[in-house]
Structure formats: C-alpha cells, structure tokens
Amino acid sequence: MFIHIDNKTYTVKAGKNLLEACLTLDLDLPYFCWHPAMGSVGACRQCAVKVYKDENDMKGRLVMSCMETVTEGLRLSIEDKTAKAFREQVIEWLMTNHPHDCPVCDEGGACHLQDMTVMTGHDYRRYNYKKRTYTNQYLGPLINHEMNRCIQCYRCVRYYRDYAGGDDLNVFAAHNHVYFGREKDGVLQSPFSGNLSEVCPTGVFTDKTLKEHYTRKWDLTMAPSVCNHCSVGCNTIAAERYGQLRCMLNRYNGDVNGYFLCDRGRFGYEFVNSENRIKQALIRSRTNEAATESEIMEHVQSLISMSKVVGIGSPRASLESNFALMQLVGKENFYQGISEDEAHLNRLVVEMLRSGCVHSVSLKEIEQADAVLIIGEDIWNTAPMMALAVRQAVVKTAASQASQEIKIPVWLDSAIKELAQEEKGFLATLTIATSPIDDIATHSWHAAPDDLARLGFAIASYLQPGKIVNTDFSEALLDKAKKIGDALKKAKNPVVITGTSCYNDNVIKAAFDVAVALNTGERKTSFSCVMTECNSMGLAMMGSPSFSVANENIKTNGHATAVILENDVYKHIPSANADEFFNSCDHVIVLDALHNATTEKAQVLLPAATFADGDGTLVNNEGRAQRFFQVIPNTTSQVQESWRWLKKLQTLKLHTLNGHALHPDDLLREMETALPQFEGITNVSPKHDFTIHGEKIPREPHRYSGRTAILANKNVSEPKPFNDGDSPLSFTMEGYKGTPPSGVVPFFWSPGWNSVQSVNKYQEETNGALRGGNPGLQLFKNKSDARDLFFNDVPESFVVAKDRWLLLPKYDALGSGELSSYTAALKTLSPQPFASMSTGSLQALNAKDGDMLQIVDAGIMYGSLPVKADENVCDGVVLVTAGLRESMGMSWGTRVQIKK
Amino acid sequence: MTVMQHVWIVLGVLFVLLNIAAGLIWVERRMLAMWQDRLGPNRAGPLGILIVLADTLKLFFKEDWIPPFADKWVFIVAPAVVVGSVLMSFVIIPFTPQIIVSDLNVGILFFLAMSSLGVYSIVLGGWASNNKYSLLGAMRGASQMIAYEVFMGLSLMGVVMLTGSFKLGDIVNAQKDMWFVVKQPLGLILFFIAGIAETHRLPFDIPEAESELVAGYHSEYSGMKFGMFFIGEYLGITLISAVTVTMFFGGWLGWSFLPPWAWFFLKTFAFILFFILLRASLPRPRYDQLMETGWKILLPLALANLMITGAVALLIRG
Amino acid sequence: MFSHIRTIWLTFLHLFKRHVTIQYPEEKIRLRPRWRGRIVLTKDPDGGERCVGCYLCAVACPVDCIALQATEDENGRRYPEFFRINFSRCIFCGYCEDACPTYAIQLIPDFEMGEYNRQNLVFEKEDLLINSQGKYPGYNFYKVAGMDAGVKQKGEGENEDAPVDVHSLMP
C-alpha cells in the first residue's frame, strides 16, 4: 500500500495506523499514550499530523496519527507548520506543571518526555504561574513514586490494569488533579509492576533497586543477557558500572518476552553483587585456604587424575559449562544434578517435543492463541511471563473476534474494549491450587495431580474417541471434558500448557495427549511445558542420568572424586541422600558463584561466573537456545566461567595446553559433534571474531563518561580496556555505531531516542520482529511427517490416605527463585514459608489454621511450618512453599507423614 | 709561519666557530623573540645565555636512539658529513690577513666544492632513516641544493672576473677602494639567495618543512646526532655570512679604530642577524615555486650578470 | 618582491616595540572572575552540598575525566558518594560548569596546580569541595526543584501550589 508523507511516496503495510506506519518508516514522530503493545487511545494529542484529501488540497486537516488507519494513496505531512506548532504547544502544556528536577530524576537521560520535548522543539517556559504538586506514595521496595512528574498519559493504568491484570493501581480525582497511584500507601501487588518503570514515559515510576546505586543509562556498560530465574528465558539487558551489576532492562524479543519482564527477572539480579559471592579459589583444610590459579589447577589436576571422577551437572549452568564438565569427566561419568523424579519428567518433555507430534510454542504464539488449556502448572508463579502471555491471549481473542465483526482495527484500544466488554477468550486452568490467573479463566478446577491427569485423558478421549483406552471416567469428569473439549475443538490456535512442578508424569502425558488429539492434518497443536530452571531443558537434552544414579554408582564402586557444577545439590535432593553422596566421595570439587550448602562440603572451591560475568548459552522450555554475554569486565578476581575452568583443567589433563584462546564458539562446535541433538547450536549467535566493517559492537553508549577518572584513584595511568575476546562485543565505547545483528544488541538507542522507546528503530515494524529476525535458535524442529502418538497412560484417581499426605510445591512469583532471593527487595516480598491444606485434611490431623506442623519423609524431619487452611486444596494433599531455604530438598510428589 | 702557528690558527678557528655555532642557539631564540615582541629565553644565566649550556647538555643526555628499521652506519655518518664539510669550507676564509688556515689559490672553487658536499648528508640522512617523510625531505633537499648551487658559483664569478683571482686574500685586497657590493649588487643578491637555499634556512627550509614533512630528512634523529644537524645549520649560516662579507663587503677591511678581526666579525654577525630576520618575517614558498624561481629566473639572471660584468670589464680594459 | 622587503622591514621594526611577555611568577596577571581554572564543588546558602550527582558534568566532559557515584541521604536528597576529577586529563574547557544544573561545579581563577607526581592531580570530593557558594550566591536547587528532599515540603517551593487533595471534589 502506498502513502505519501511530505510529498515522498512510501510503501506501508495495510491495517496499521499512521503513527505506526511513520515509526516503521524510521520517521520521527512524537507520541506518549500510544504503546506498541497496548494500542492507541488518542489521549495525549502529541502525534498530530496533517492529512490532505488529495494532491490539490493545500489546507489539509490535523489528525491524531495514532487514530487513523492507513489508506491507499493517503497524503500526510509531518513537517507541516501547523502540525509542528500544534505538537510544540501540546508539549508546552504538558510541561507547565512538570517539575524542575531532571537532575535528580532517575529517568533523566533515558526519558521519553525529554526526547519528545527536544523533538518538538519546545525549549523555553512561557508559563509563569505556579506548578501543581502531588504527594507521593510508598509503592513497595521495587518501584519509586514521584507523582509531580506525571503528564497524565494514562499508560501506567492501561498497562497495570488492562494489560497485566492488576487491580491495585488506579487513577483518582478529576480534571487537572488526576492522580495515579494506589488507594493508599502499600506494596504493588502485581508481579509485573516493574514494567511501570519502562512504560511510564517520564519519571513517575522508577526502579527503586537501581536507586540504591544509581547510574544514568549513558554510563552503563550493557550486554545482551538472558534471564536466569525461570525456564522461560526472557531476554534482558544486563547493565554494569564500577564493576557492579546496576540494573536489568528489558531486551525486546518479539518471540519471547516482547516489551515486558516479570519482577523476579527485573529485580532478581542483586545476587551478582551479593556478599555471598565466591570470588576466591579455596583449597579447604590447609592453613592458607586461598589459592592462586596455578596452585588450584595443579591441586585439582592431581585430584582428578588420582581416582575416578564423577561430574554433576546443573540445570542453571550454561550448556557450555555442562558440556565442558561432560568432556572433562567423560560422557559415562556425567550426571544431571537433579533428582531422578525430576530428571524423569524432563526426559519425558524432551521426548515429547522431539517427537514432532506437537509444536513447541513460543510466548508470542501463546499470546495469539484463541484457546488455552493449562494442566497442572501454576504458571503465574512458576513462569510469570507465560501467564502474562496467556492473559493477552484470553483478553485479545475476544478483542480480535470483535474487531473482525465490525471492522475496527485491533490497535484502537478503547473502542475494542468498549466492544468486547467482559467477553474473554477460552482459558481452562486445571491446577492443584488457586492462582491469580484463574480470575480470567472460563473453567478452573483444582484437584490432585492424578485427577488432573484423568481429566486431561478424558478430554483427549473426547476429542479423539477410541484413542484412549481404559476410560472408566466418572460422569462429572466426562461432563467437564466435554465442555473443555468443545471449546478447544472450535479454536483455530489452541495451546496446551503443562509443567513439571507437580512432579507427576501422568499430568504431562495427559496434556500431551490432549495436544496430540487436537492435531489436525495441517496443524500441529501448540504445546508448552514449564520446567524448573533456566537451563533445565538444555541439561535434559544432553540425556545424562540423574544424581540418584550417580549416588548409587558411587555407593557400589566407592572411591571417586566429584566435580559439582554450579549446583546446590541440597536444593534438589533430600539432605540425607546428599550427605550420603558427599560422605562416599573421596574429594569434592565445587564450582559455583554463591556460597551454599553444597559449597560447604567442597574441599576445593572454584569461583564461577554468573550470567553477568561470563558468557554462555541457555535453552528455555521451548527449546530455544539463547546466548548471554558477559557484562562485568573481570580484571582482578579469579572469577571465570565454569566452562573456562573445566576446559583449562581438561587441557592440562591432556597436555594440550597450547596457549590458544578459548571461546564459547569452540565449545559449541565440539558439542555439535559430540551431541548431535544440538545440531546447529553454533549458529546461536555471531561468532567471537564477528565484526562489522572491522569494528566490534560496543557495550558502552557513545556518551559513556569517566573513562579517564574511574580508576584514577588507583593509578593515574589508565589501563588498557578489558577485552575477553569471547564475543563480537567490546568493553569500550568505540566500535560499530549502527544497528548490530539482533542477537547482539547491547542496548537500544537511536539519535533523539534515548529512552526504551528507541526499540522502534530496531524493529522491522512496530511491535514486530527485530531487524534480521528475533534472536534465539529453536532446537526442536517441526516434523510434518511425525505420526500422532498417544501415551494412553491413565492413572487411577487420587485416593486420600489416612495418615499420608501428598507433598506438593507451592511456588511464589517473587520469592521462589534460588538466586533472586539475594535481592533484599524481593526477599522482603517473598512469603514466609508455610504449608497449606484443606480444612478436611486439617480436621483429620486434628489441627487448625496457624498451627505448626512438621513434615516427615522416610525418617527425615523437615523444619516445622505454620499451616494455612485453603478450601481449594483437595483433601490428602499438602502444599509447601517451594524455592525457599526452609523447603529445600523436599521429596516433592511423594506421600509424607505430618506431625503436629 | 711556523707549524705551531698553523696549529694554533686551526685550533683557534675551530674553537671560535663551534662556540659561535652554539651561541647562535641563544642569539636566534632571543632575536626571534624580540621580533615577535617576546623576551625569549632569559632565565638561565645573564640574559639567558646559559640556555646554550642547558640545550647542549640536554642534547647530550637524550637517548641516542637509532630506529631498528634504519640503515645503521649511514644513519650515523650522515650528520657528521654536514658538520665536516662546512668546517672544511672555513679553511679558505681570511679572517684577517694573518688568520687564515690556508689561502688556496682555488679558494672559491674549494668553498663551492665543499658546500656542495653538504647535500650528501641530507640525502644519506633521509635515505638511511627509512621513513617516507625523511626520504621526501631528502629528495627535495637534493634537488633544491643542486638547483641553487649552479648559480651560486656563477654569481661569484663576477667578483672573480673583477679581481682576476680565486684567492680570497686577493679578493679582499681588491676591495680596498670600493667594496664589490657596489660593482656587483646583483651578484650579492643572487649569492645570498643561493646561500639561504644551500643552508636550507627559512624561508627555504623545504627539506625539513615541519608542517608537511614532520622534520623532513632528520625526522628520525634524536640526541646529539640531531644536534650535529643543528650545529651544521648554524655553521652553514656563519659560513655563508663570512663568504658574503669576504666577497662583497671587504672582509676584514675597515677603519683603523677597530682591529681587522673585529671588522670581520661585526660584518659577519650583521649577516647572521639578517638570516634570523628573514626567518622571523618570510613564509616558506611552495616547492615548485622554489624550483621554478631557481631555474627560470635566478639562473638566467646570474648568467646575465656574468655576461654584463665580462662585457664591462672588457670595455674598461679595452 | 616589494612586499617581501616591506615585511622584513616591518619585522625588523618590532625590535623597538614593547614586549608582551609577563614575567611569571614574579609578575602575576589579573585573572577575571570567570577565568576557567581549577574546578571546585560549592555549597548552597544553607551549607549543604550543591552537587546532586546528576552525572551531567561527567557526560559533558570531552576528556571523560570526571567520575562520580550518586547516593541519597535518609530524606532522599542526592549527593555524590565520591566525586573524582583527574586533573591530569582536564582541559579546563568549562563544559562541566555549563552543564551543571545546580551551580555546584565551578571553575575558579586558580591555575597553579603544578605537581611533580601525576598521581597528585587526581582530586577526590574532599579536595574539590569548598565552603562557599562561589560565583552564584543564593541558589538552592532543592528549593526550586519539585522533589521533597528534606529542604522543603511538597508545595512549599518557589512557584509551587500546595499539593493536590485527591479526595477533593472542587473544580
């Protein structure tokens, strides 16, 4: 479709609005209330342009570009004098009350309001009257509130309420007194509140954790990173200054997280700066425990050459690190560092996705689904961004159906909302306990895992009669199955989501069978399974036996040295088993970034890099391999990536130390040869020697300040800039200034666009893919010829035992992260550990709400927990807050005894 | 004269010349400053004269560095050639009727021969440095010096014709009644211009043109080897001044209230100052302009001067 | 040709002109108040640090010789935790003073900063902070800024209305 802008002809995509069209064409047009993910409401009047009837029309008329659809041959002018003057006046009005505090505002330097003020040309205040002021609110430890700065664009409430489904932030009062905040001071309840800092075009909502060590955007050394806190693998930008990780920013990836992050991902970075970090290699039980690198290498070398070596991998270590350990100890001695139960589930998931019977779905595709079935996973708490995507699917399905009926463009937000009212798309949540996402669900049912699985199989059986045998389902169950099945059958793009968190393979099998039953000739059903850690999928794909097998082997054979990679064994394994393992090992060598129960057992401790001080690749639950890049230059401490330590040990062992630099690229290449399931993994990102016109991509913006003063207190002669050579990124401000390949975008910036809104300039079209395609490499290929397979493994329905309770984990969106709990702010927001049971179970126990209970499993006594009654938990099940230190290493999914 | 007397003269001349050359460091910097309304070096010693000592010490203590890419032996020899050849020229200068190292009967020819040897130091220095700027400087130096040497000799031939001798003693004595500057004004101007070009002083410092060629043929030199080029240049100024005085301004001749050496010295010094004044006032011409002027204007003028002088001499004698 | 001779003559005449040289350090030149010499950090009329750690001086600095870290006191008032200028890199361009929105950083007429050891040219906040308002007396940023940072309450600043009462229904 052709349109004419300022007498030049451009080709644009139909269905877009004028603002989107202009921004897609790289033209600068200011805006405030429009947001690519939230559409237009035409409130701020900032994006005015002139539209002309035809080429003879000299007068034209002013329109808000975000409210007009592009039409064939449309003539518009951005540069028109009237339009420019109009935009300048609008911003002048907005600025009459804007306070004089940019120097102390955290948004300054990355502020959309600053950018737009400069863009429109308003530079002198003519309004001499008094400014309106507001008092601020305490919004919790994550978000800072400074209401004076507000320009009433309504983006915050539109995001918080409409997009993320929160209900405790609202707009109050009237006319020029409108106030955006809570009804009274208090912590924002939504686990997506952090995005307010990026959604707000000015400094009303800012990142409070950044305030603790404030740095302007132009002073940050930034690198593309991948979130470590759940299996979804959202893309982030890690930002460093003075050797500390300062904040995490969203990195747009159209296929994964889009414009938003959850609070655990955004604020859970502080563990990198934690005092609990291991910075020094230690050899325990000698007078001087601290060891130099050569000392420790020699020591470890002698240990691993003396006896049999067992390698324990980790679901939160990168692929490179796990593979390097596998290479060091040999494939037959490498084990996953997780329990057999979990490993079994993970294997199952890999098998399902590899079969090609289902389509491994991305978050973007979930957003576009028109019916969603969730079986057995509390995604709001285990994969928050997936829950946000499901919410969009549910809310927008109704919207897009409505818009098709009366031909309203989908971006016309308020009209669509008016039309859709409370109508929602189909969502069924079949989980063990309630979850905030139930609020938008058409059906939600809470039951024990086996019963959930039975319902799943019932749905599959309803969808494809005869494929499931052993169908002695009850009437009630069949009735539910029919309702859900009918809705799914109608849908064009149904998505089935499950997860490993209820430790029951039948649940996953049932979800898979539903997905397969939904397959039609041309379409594989979208299927997603949430896993526990950021690289659970990567580790599972390596196909090694679990920790339990390692324990058995060592017990029978004895005499082994264990190398444990970035893994707190006590988190995954009951402590008795873990103790047993450590006692039967001759030597324990641990690589980790933080001190924990496992590192205490280590005789040799090697300081490993976190995602911020190392490079590596993670595979998310979708099977998408994503590369993260080092951002903290490491010049003094011994901290280095685990794979580097391990590879150095290996070269020492094989006497092949030839002084060659070692890059992740080399490891991935070796991995591709050794493990064919990772075919193509070398293409996950541009190689370390990739340059553009001979230039690397700078991690620092061109305005980076203080280069000649940062280290001047130590030595006035500046050292050479750090260079790790592992990636096409450099640790300086020099280098290629254009748009880098999408996978190695260290930050979003464009001339005149200093705020996050500059992401428009990196996209092929607004809200579309990044230029050159969204980063990440899907390891599970769609197989069109795959035959439909059914597990057909219907369990018996759950029976309540008299004095045995099924122990299941209850996750918390903010509190359950092993690493994120080192952020003080998230720590205060995470719940105190508790157990919850149905009132029926409590009666059976003769206990009441608030009593302290003690969980006993096979003779192991866990710490006592207060119990809460929850009528949505079914009888015979006990839920315990998971991911917290008090509930580490519990044998989830088993029947335990409970003592008062 | 006895052998001892000869030795004393040689040593004396060497001593005086080297001191003058060194002293010129101070003179030039002070005079340039004066002409630019500044004071110049005035801190070390009375009127800053000890700057000479300070500069010399500095040059001696600087790292004597030979670039690894240079042709080592040629690199070392080059600066010595310039000082050697200029000092040799002084052999024929009659400071007074008595103080002259050797009053050769081919005096002027010896001077011309020696001064043209100076080009070797530039070419060798530039070549040995193995640096593009040095080489460019050396090439420019060679062509400039060859061009200007031609009419340098010719411009002096007028004086020789009038005197009928190449001996500098005879030439001075021939000026008892009238300095040759009156009979040979064009010869003087041509010789002086050629002299500036030969010593590649400003405005004709094209071989070292720091704004284009860094420092031309001596870009790579440092320490005392650079100092030798430096001294060579000042000796060159002194030599051209002394020859000018001898040829056109009556050498040691003068009223009797001052001894002959003082007259010689005063006249020479005046020309040295004129050299410095030129540096203070004139910009450097372009290389092609320099060559064009040399070959197309100055050389024909020198030939014309020679012809007219010859014709007039024949007429008068005839 | 004539112009050359004239040039030589005119240059020669300069021999008799007055020298412009000033015999520093015996003679001293009078430096104007806006002369750009040593950099200082000033204090506001109430004796508080003017610097709010906004990083604008650092980003304006063409040689990147200013590094600082902002921090906050219990009232939310920003101040630099450390403030370092590497004077061995400073070119005294005065951009930092131009950029400073609070008149904190100022260049004063003092240039006598010679040191034998370059390390001594690295100035920390203690070396930079002076107990004076410098060239701009009477200015206190927090009185005109919208924020409440312990200097004034919301609405008490210059040109500010009292805070909005959200519960009011009055137009």
On chain C, the residues whose CB falls within 8 A of the CB of A134 are: 154, 163-164
Segments forming the whole domain that contains residue C41: 30-137
On chain B, the residues whose CB falls within 8 A of the CB of C2 are: none
B265-273's contacts with Cβ under 8 Å and 24+ in sequence apart are B268/B238, B268/B241, B268/B242, B269/B241, B270/B241, B271/B240, B271/B241, B271/B244, B271/B245, B272/B24, B272/B27, B272/B237, B272/B238, B272/B241, B273/B27, B273/B31
State the angle between helix axes of A475-490 and A505-518 in degrees (0 to 180), rounded to the nearest 10. 50
Q: Which pLDDT score is estimated for B177?
A: 81
**Nearest-neighbour CA in chain A from C104: distance (Å):** 12
Q: Which pLDDT score is estimated for C118?
A: 92
Q: Is B280 in CB contact (< 8 Å) with chain C?
A: yes
Q: Are A691 and A728 in contact (CB under 8 A)?
A: yes
Both tokens of residue A547?
């920790």
Rounded Cα distance between B131 and B292, Å, is 27
Q: Would the CA dihedral through A70, A73, A74, A80 be positive or negative?
A: positive
DSSP string, chain C: -HHHHHHHHHHHHGGGSPP----TTTS-PPPPTT---SEEE-B-TTS-B------HHHHH-TT--EEEEEEE-TT--EEEEEEEEETTT-----HHHHH-TTS-EEE-S------SSGGGGEE-HHHHB-SS-TTSTT--HHHHSSS-SSSS-TT-STTEEEEP-TT----
Rounded Cα distance between A281 and A158, Å, is 50
Q: What's the structural domain count of chain B?
A: 1
- What pTM did the predictor assign? 0.83
Q: Residue C138: how many CB atoms within 10 A of its CB?
A: 8
Nearest to A875 by CA among A832, A849, A834, A836: A836
Q: Does some domain include residue B41? A: no
Which residue numbers in chain B have pLDDT < 50?
A: none
Helix (H) / strand (E) element for B52: namely helix B51-61
Minimum mean pLDDT range among A131-135, A159-163, A292-296:
A292-296
Q: Which pLDDT score is estimated for B51?
A: 87
Q: What residue ranges do the domains of chain A occupy? A: 2-95, 130-253+260-271, 293-338+535-644+663-678, 355-531, 805-899
SS (H, E, C) A491-532: CCCEEEEEECCCCCHHHHHHHHHHHHHHCCCCCCCEEEEECC
Minimum-distance CB partner of C20 among B38, B277, B278: B38
Segments forming the whole domain that contains residue B180: 69-317
More confident residue, A897 or A179: A179
- Residue-wise pLDDT for A348-366, tens only, equals 999 989 888 888 999 999 9
Confidence at A425, pLDDT banded by 50, 70, 90: confident
Taking residues C153-163, report their average pLDDT: 86
Q: Which pLDDT score is estimated for A322?
A: 93
Say if the Cβ atoms of C59 and A177 lie within 8 Å: no
DSSP state of A846: T
Say if the Cβ atoms of A706 and C161 lie within 8 Å: no
State the angle between helix axes of B3-35 and B51-61 in degrees (0 to 180), rounded to the nearest 10. 100
Task: Please determine, looking at this structure, whether the domain spanning A355-531 carries the CATH number 3.40.228.10.
Answer: yes
Q: Is A183 in CB contact (< 8 Å) with chain C?
A: no
DSSP state of A788: P
On chain A, the residues whose CB falls within 8 A of the CB of C88 are: 712, 716
**Nearest-neighbour CA in chain C from B227: distance (Å):** 28
Task: Please determine, looking at this structure, whether the domain spanning A2-95 carries the CATH number 3.20.10.10.
Answer: no
Say if the Cβ atoms of B280 and C20 lie within 8 Å: no
- CA–CA distances in Å: residue A498 to residues A10, A309, A439, B129: 45, 37, 18, 77
Minimum-distance CB partner of C166 among A132, A179, A713: A179
Taking residues A639-644, report their average pLDDT: 90
Minimum mean pLDDT range among A480-494, A673-687, B159-173, C50-64:
B159-173
End-to-end CA distance of chain C: 87
Q: Are A358 and A515 in contact (CB under 8 A)?
A: yes
- Residue-wise pLDDT for A444-465, tens only, equals 999 889 889 989 999 988 888 8
Q: Does some domain include residue C154? A: no
Rounded Cα distance between B57 and B65, Å, is 16
**Nearest-neighbour CA in chain A from C33: distance (Å):** 26
Rounded Cα distance between A547 and A539, Å, is 12
- Residue-wise pLDDT for A843-858, tens only, equals 888 888 888 888 887 7
Q: Which pLDDT score is estimated for B318?
A: 64
- Residue-wise pLDDT for B158-184, tens only, equals 888 888 888 888 888 888 888 888 888
Q: What's the structural domain count of chain C?
A: 1
Taking residues A612-621, report their average pLDDT: 92
Given a cut of 90, is residue A170 above it in pLDDT? yes
Taking residues C122-133, report their average pLDDT: 93
- Residue-wise pLDDT for A739-774, tens only, equals 999 989 999 999 999 999 999 999 998 888 999 889
**Nearest-neighbour CA in chain C from B272: distance (Å):** 14
Chain C residue whose CA is closest to A145: C147
Q: Which pLDDT score is estimated for A658?
A: 56
- CA–CA distances in Å: residue A558 to residues A308, A548, B269: 9, 15, 102
Given a cut of 80, is residue A401 above it in pLDDT? no
Q: Are A619 and A715 in contact (CB under 8 A)?
A: no
Taking residues A611-623, report their average pLDDT: 92
Minimum-distance CB partner of C19 among B39, B278, B280: B39
Q: Does some domain include residue C18? A: no
Q: Which pLDDT score is estimated for C119?
A: 93
Extract the runs of DSSP E, i.e. beta strands, from A301-385: 308-312, 334-335, 359-360, 371-375
Say if the Cβ atoms of C89 and A216 lie within 8 Å: no
Chain B residue whose CA is closest to C21: B38
Determine the distance from the C-alpha atom of residue B272 to the mean position of all C-alpha atoms in its chain, rounded to a whole number: 9
Task: Please determine, looking at this structure, whether the domain spanning A805-899 carries the CATH number 3.40.50.300.
Answer: no
This complex has an ipTM of 0.88
Determine the distance from the C-alpha atom of residue B228 to the mean position of all C-alpha atoms in its chain, rounded to a whole number: 14
Core vs surface per residue B177-201: b (16+ CB within 10 A) or e: eebbbebbebbbbbbbbbbbbbbbb
On chain C, the residues whose CB falls within 8 A of the CB of A130 are: 159-161
Q: Are A495 and A393 in contact (CB under 8 A)?
A: yes
Q: Which of A262-271, A879-888, B258-267 has the highest mean pLDDT?
A: A262-271
Residue A148: phi, psi to the nearest 5? -50, -30
- Residue-wise pLDDT for A305-317, tens only, equals 878 888 999 999 9
Return the amino acid letter for C14. Answer: H
Q: Which pLDDT score is estimated for B199?
A: 85
Q: What is the CATH number of the domain that holds C81?
A: 3.30.70.3270
Instruction: For chain C, positions 107-126, list CB contacts with chain A under 8 A.
Output: 118-119, 121-122, 124
Return the amino acid letter for A803. Answer: D
Q: Is B296 in CB contact (< 8 Å) with chain C?
A: no
Task: Please determine, looking at this structure, whether the domain spanning A293-338+535-644+663-678 carries the CATH number 3.40.50.740.
Answer: yes
- Residue-wise pLDDT for C1-24, tens only, equals 788 889 888 888 888 888 888 888
User: What is the residue-averaged pLDDT of chain A?
Assistant: 88
Q: Strands across the sheet with A61-64, in order? A: A8-11, A2-5, A74-77, A48-52, A61-64
Chain A residue whose CA is closest to C59: A705
Residues constituting chain B: 318
Both tokens of residue A513?
């069978």
Q: Is C19 in CB contact (< 8 Å) with chain B?
A: yes
